[in-house]
């Protein structure tokens, strides 16, 4: 699963005193997990993303299209 192409948003939450992790390519997954450090948030976000992919595949659901960024040459 090292080749997952989905975006992960990591944002500090003053109210929660932690980094929140969102997976906006998956419906309903804004602020899916968190971490006390940025590194922990990345690790937890990656784990959550892998779990979502497994759940989609187990249910026979199509994975959402990853958001892509178009860059000008």
Listing DSSP states for the chain in one string gives -TT-----EEEEETTTTEEEEE-TTSTT-TT-EEESSHHHHHHHHHHHHHHHHHHHHHHTPPPPPPP------
Spans of the chain below 50 pLDDT: none
Say whether domain 1-73 belongs to CATH 3.30.160. yes
What pLDDT score does 73 carry? 63
Instruction: Confirm whether pTM is higher than 0.75.
Output: yes
Domain ranges of the chain: 1-73
């Amino acid at each position: 699963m090292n080749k997952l192409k989905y975006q992960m948003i990591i944002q500090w939450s003053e109210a929660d005193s932690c980094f929140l992790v969102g997976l906006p390519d998956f419906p309903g997954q804004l602020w899916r997990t968190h971490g006390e450090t940025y590194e922990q948030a990345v690790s937890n976000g990656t784990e959550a993303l892998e779990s979502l992919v497994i759940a989609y595949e187990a249910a026979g659901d199509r994975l959402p299209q990853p958001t892509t960024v178009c860059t000008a040459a």
